[in-house]
Amino acid sequence: MTILVFDSGIGGLTVLREARVIMPEHRFVYFADDAAFPYGDWEEGALVERMLGVFDGLIQTYNPVMIMVACNTASTLILPHLRKRFSIPIVGTVPAIKPAAERTASGQVSVLATPGTVQRDYTRSLIAEFASQVNVRLVGSENLAAIADRFMLTGEVDDAAVRAEINECFVDRLGARTDVVVLACTHYPFLTNVFRRLAPWPVDWLNPAEAIARHAQNLLPRGGLVQDVQDIAQFSAGPPKPELRRFLSGFGMQVV
């Protein structure tokens, strides 16, 4: 059975990595809509229209049994439209605000996200529903997704640039310090060890990728043939650069 994993770039590979561990018997198709990256720069209506057109083509081509939207910005917009349009299970990636509110001891939680995710009403509704007794700071980063992608491909990182993007996450109010930072963009877990090294004090960097993969596993239709077929990756902007092709090859993916 084929599972479609969708993102605006390569950040969704952090979710795919966990999904492949948990569901190794399935074939995965990873689609990156990099021609439209970053999604946070789009007007909402135009972005929804674009994504629906892309999904129509992907469903027709690959006939997946499930869609995993491995992008917070996309998920906060497209999930209701996809569930109305397609009858297969749809799994989204939304900021892990509920588990953060359950984990915090200090009551100080930060959500590190793209500006698009920070601005969405969906994000604020999650805070109102699950974290009303917690102080939640929303931190929108303009540059961190690109920094994470570059680090993943080259191993190079500018510490000062990363520190500038994460500094606002750390709050100290009368001794109550931020103790949980939600990684609300799938690109950011690539930098978790860098975050730990640069943080002014230890915090729990909350990466929801494993929980998303387990949720997907629970929703999968039972039965079906085991797929002895290589997982594939496709990019809307055309063939990726050689360094990304090499990474994907090492990741066990065939670029089409």
- Cα dist. 26→222, 230, 248 in Å? 12, 10, 18
* Sequence-distant (≥ 6) Cβ neighbours of residue 89 within 8 angstroms: 65, 66, 67, 216, 219, 220, 221
- The one-character DSSP state at 47 is H
Tell which residue, 171, 214, 223, has the closest CA to residue 65: 223
Sign, CA dihedral 148-25-6-121, equals negative
Sign, CA dihedral 43-47-48-49, equals positive
Given the residues 13, 58, 68, 71, the one annotated as active site = 71
Quote the CA–CA distance of 71 and 98 in Å, as a whole number: 18
**Which strands, in side-by-side order, build the sheet including 253-255?**
90-91, 66-69, 2-7, 27-32, 231-235, 253-255
Quote the CA–CA distance of 161 and 143 in Å, as a whole number: 9
| 169 labelled catalytic | no
Given the residues 10, 136, 148, 185, the one annotated as active site = 185
- Tell me the catalytic residues: 71, 185
